[in-house]
Amino acid sequence: MYLADSRSTKAPAVPDQRPERRVAAVPGTVLALGAVSLVTDVSSEMVSAVLPLYVVAGLGLSPLGFGLLDGINNGVGALVRLLGGHLADRGGRGPKTVAVVGYGLSALCKPLLLLVHTVPLIGAVLAVDRTGKGLRTAPRDAMISLATRPEHRGRAFGVHRAMDTTGALLGPLVAFAVLRATVDGYDAVFAVSGCVAALGVLVLLLFVPSAPAKAVDPAPRPSLRDSLDLLRLPGLRRLGVCAALLGLTTVSDSFLYLLLQRQLGLATHLFPLLPLGTAASFLLLAVPLGALADRIGRRRLFLAGHVLLLLAYALVLTNSSAVLLVLVLHGGFYAATDGVLAAAAANAAPEDRQGSALALVGTGQALARFVCSLVFGAAWSAWGGHTALAVTATALSCTAVVTFFLLRSSADEVTV
């Protein structure tokens, strides 16, 4: 969201072999993985765009029930992400192999949604889908990191996230078109999504290079405990704590869109259009903000992104007509945090432990967001969506201040 495993050879990494004047060029591996993410996100966002309304309005699930469903699915992905990062660091052709398994699992889940029509079964299918996402995320990001010079990782992750977001932009549009053109709208969306997901796996298999076979290496392969020991690195530990704290006050996209839909009174077939504003903003800002992070510091920009999120919450609470600005700020939040956090985590860990480092930070953040989904869903059911968001915004203000002081004395990169 990776070419050779840099541990398997003493030769310089691919970016180092290029002429100095082309040092800022984005490696081909990053572009290939960006294409995979683009296609896969078309599939994923087709489902994500209609799922909240499908289970809440169509199946009658309460906000608390949806919060539980959304939280559990994100929690499953978070836990599996740690395993994916660990497997990617064990050498050989690990990163691509683990990524293929992850993308494949998610692709298999899309057509299964055609066969299940109860909330528990839908939850089970989505849990498997999130398992696939959790497995693939850290290996994919590790390959991006290993294929890129450290000083250009913010830009590389920005390019990848921009391509990923292009898919996120197209997915809701396709879902909207399918809903408008078919009678069995939801089933048609799930069927088309499955076909697109299969195409993404094919692109990964054919166009993303595998790491070369690992030569005899006297060093023992890292154990899962070794991966957890990375938290002893002060920079990585501090970054993980801050990501988790802020994740506790990051409302799920689905809840935000449901709030906007109710405020605006949008028709069912228009609901998939709400994520477009977020995706368009993310697409426009991901690369420039990634490059800015390389210059001013990734942790600073990560914190600034949450300020944008706080402004979006404030607008939802005070001005229901400013929906476009809310979505622009929401996309800016992701552009300033998603790839930027991955780049910061990659530079805070040894090169041969990139997958585990990325997984540790990502897992902490995802588990925190899992808790937020549960609490927000319960608060919505008890107090209403508006009050629940006001409480969350207040909590985000407090955690942002704490995070500022935690990160103020730390360097943006940690030499290991």
Q: DSSP for 198-209?
A: HHHHHHHHHHSP
3-state secondary structure of 121: helix
Question: Is the pLDDT score of 8 beyond 60?
Answer: no
Length of the chain: 416
3-state secondary structure of 176: helix
pTM: 0.74
Tokens of 207: 């166009």
Predicted pLDDT at 93? 58
Alpha helical stretches, state H, 24-62: 28-53
CA angle, residues 331, 334, 340, in degrees to nearest 5:
145
**Closest CA relative to residue 63, chosen from 331, 327, 337, 388:** 388
Q: What structural domains does the chain harbor?
A: 6-10+18-211+229-408 (1.20.1250.20)
Q: What is the pLDDT of residues 107-135, one digit of tens each?
A: 999 999 999 988 899 999 999 999 999 89
Predicted pLDDT at 221? 63
Predicted pLDDT at 413? 43
Question: Is the pLDDT score of 6 beyond 60?
Answer: no
> 142 vs 414, which has greater pLDDT?
142
Predicted pLDDT at 188? 92
Q: What is the mean pLDDT of residues 82-89?
A: 82
Predicted pLDDT at 4? 36
Q: What is the pLDDT of residues 290-320, one digit of tens each?
A: 889 988 889 899 999 999 999 999 999 997 7
26 falls in which pLDDT band (50, 70, 90)? confident
Q: What is the pLDDT of residues 142-177, one digit of tens each?
A: 899 888 888 888 889 989 999 998 998 899 999 999
Q: What is the mean pLDDT of residues 12-39?
A: 70
Predicted pLDDT at 414? 42
Cβ pair 49, 254 in contact under 8 A: no
Cβ pair 327, 277 in contact under 8 A: yes
Predicted pLDDT at 18? 45
How distant, in Å, are the alpha carbons of 41, 86, 201, 377 from that of 33? 12, 20, 11, 34
In angstroms, the CA 357 to CA 70 distance is: 25
Consecutive H or E run containing 366:
helix 354-383
Find all residues with CB under 8 Å of 372, minimum gap 6, and list them.
Answer: 71, 247, 248, 249, 250, 251, 252, 392
**Closest CA relative to residue 242, chosen from 344, 134, 353, 130:** 344
Question: Is the pLDDT score of 16 beyond 60?
Answer: no
**Closest CA relative to residue 160, chosen from 37, 13, 277:** 37
Predicted pLDDT at 78? 77
Predicted pLDDT at 223? 64
Residue keyed to tokens 């001013």: 296
- Give me the torsion for CA of 128, 133, 139, 140, rounded to 10°: 150
**Closest CA relative to residue 110, chosen from 34, 186, 33:** 186
Query: For 270, what's the count of Cα atoms within 13 Å in the CB-facing half-sphere?
Result: 7
Question: Is the pLDDT score of 212 beyond 70?
Answer: no
Q: What is the mean pLDDT of residues 248-269?
A: 89
Q: Which of 191-200, 339-348, 389-398 shows the lowest mean pLDDT across its residues?
A: 339-348
224 falls in which pLDDT band (50, 70, 90)? low
Q: What is the mean pLDDT of residues 236-241?
A: 92
Question: Is the pLDDT score of 20 beyond 50?
Answer: no
In angstroms, the CA 238 to CA 390 distance is: 28
Q: DSSP secondary structure string, 209-255? A: PPPPPPPP--SPPPPHHHHHGGGGSHHHHHHHHHHHHHHTT---HHH
